[in-house]
Amino acid sequence: MSWRGTTGGIDAARAGHDVVMAPTSHTYFDYAQSKDANEPVGQSAVLTLETVYGFDPVPAELEPQFVKHVLGAQAQLWTEYMADPKQVEYMAFPRLTALAEVVWTPKDRKDYPNYLARLATHMQRLRALDVNARPLQ
């Protein structure tokens, strides 16, 4: 697991070890989703939906022969600031949908505006399931 940036993951992959990229910069969902004062209390950093979607678990500097060692990515959601499960849902969604697309969609097919258009429909599903997802702005 490469939590504190991607350098540790790159070094591990180059050494022949399988890695999961989970850097604070893109996968820590206990960070606020915006600087809006109405956001729930969380860690002081901000991690936007667009930043999550822009993540590439395979660092550009990793040589092609080592790419096979990057198994994917993982989200972290530490709950010491979360009062209840509904707040955990709020912090996870919709960012979790962005990370899912990051790891499942080939890089050349990623399209943030297209994702946002599809996400609007997915948000309706989340509401129907009573998931407390952060509203799109």
Question: Which CATH number fits the domain that encloses residue 60?
Answer: 3.20.20.80
Q: Where are the alpha helices (DSSP H) in 1-137?
A: 7-14, 24-27, 49-53, 85-92, 95-104, 112-128
* Structural domain boundaries, residue 75: 7-128
pLDDT of res. 40: 79
In 3D space, the residue among 23, 28, 29 whose CA is nearest the CA of residue 9 turns out to be: 23
Average pLDDT estimate for 98-127: 95
38 domain-assigned: yes
At residue 72, does pLDDT exceed 80?
A: yes
Average pLDDT estimate for 104-112: 94
86 domain-assigned: yes
117 domain-assigned: yes
Label residue 66 by pLDDT band (50, 70, 90).
Answer: very high
User: Quick check: 29 and 46 in contact, CB under 8 A?
Assistant: no
Question: How far is Cα 30 from Cα 47, in angstroms, rounded to an integer?
Answer: 9
At residue 137, does pLDDT exceed 80?
A: no
User: Quick check: 7 and 25 in contact, CB under 8 A?
Assistant: no
pLDDT of res. 44: 77
Average pLDDT estimate for 110-114: 96
pLDDT of res. 48: 95
At residue 41, does pLDDT exceed 90?
A: no
User: Quick check: 30 and 11 in contact, CB under 8 A?
Assistant: no
2 domain-assigned: no
Q: What is the pTM of this model?
A: 0.92
Question: How far is Cα 99 from Cα 102, in angstroms, rounded to an integer?
Answer: 5
Tokens of 124: 């309706």
pLDDT of res. 4: 86
Share of the chain above pLDDT 70, in %: 99
Number of independent structural domains in the chain? 1
Average pLDDT score over the chain: 94
103 domain-assigned: yes
At residue 73, does pLDDT exceed 90?
A: yes
